Amino acid sequence: MSVLEITDIHKSFGDLQVLNGITLHVDEGEVVAIIGPSGGGKSTLLRCATTLEQINSGSIRIGGIELDYKNKKSLAEIRNKFGLVFQNFNLFPHFSVRRNITEALISVHGKSKEEANAICDSLLDKMDLTAKGDAYPCNLSGGQQQRVSIARALATSPEILFFDEPTSALDPELTIGVLNVIKELAREKMTMVIVTHEMSFARDVADRIIFMNGGVIVEEGPAAELINNPKQERTRAFLSGYSD
């Protein structure tokens, strides 16, 4: 069953055509990595899928609900279907770690404080952050902040998680911890779409890789096959600097 269905979407900013007829389906339990050069449309595709940008044409469905910008009820329903992890964490700096995770559970999803705290405790344990519930983002490393961001995205039990370059703001040492968390989610069959520049990670974790350039999908296929044996010349050129 497809959790995400993107059909022939177009997106432009003024005269600049950024997405030009993208069609993409992601099945339940599937991990899809999106790679490609800067300016190729990867992050814009993610922003459209998560309602942060409005498409010009085409359709997007998540969890069986079609995105309708004019229908506030369906818009709210579709936003409850996914979690989004930003590259720069986007934590509330004046909230503790615990409140960053529980705020939406209580104020949006109607959970009691006790329920929200139980969910938070479980996720902090999962992220190896048990002792950090009362800390503030400024007291955490970048890797810890990103793991809090992942915990917050998971708190509402989304059907699909979107990651926009989740390690781009981290140094190599901190990157490892975040990638290990995502690998564990993949083993648990969490449905994920990951925009990434980490080629070895994409090869090892994703079921399928999509290579985007110029606002179109140039090539897609099984992860290891696309990385090791790309069919299209543009994909080969992009991956030519990649070494295992």
Tell me the per-residue pLDDT of 224-244, one tens digit each, with 9 for 90 and over. 999 999 999 999 999 997 766
Average pLDDT over residues 19-33: 97
80 token code pair: 């409850």
Q: What percent of the chain has pLDDT over 70?
A: 99
Sign for the CA dihedral angle at 218, 222, 224, 229 comes to negative
Q: What is the pLDDT of residue 243?
A: 63
Residue 137, Cβ density class (10 Å: 0-12 exposed, 13-18 middle, ≥19 buried): buried
Average pLDDT over residues 8-33: 96
* Segment (H or E) for 166: none
Instruction: Considering only CA atoms, give the Rg of the chain.
Output: 18
- Using alpha carbons, select from 224, 234, 210 the residue that is nearest to residue 49: 210
pTM of the model: 0.94
**pLDDT tens digits along 77-119:** 999 999 999 888 899 999 999 999 999 999 999 999 999 999 9
Q: What is the pLDDT of residue 135?
A: 97
- Using alpha carbons, select from 215, 211, 217, 216 the residue that is nearest to residue 18: 215
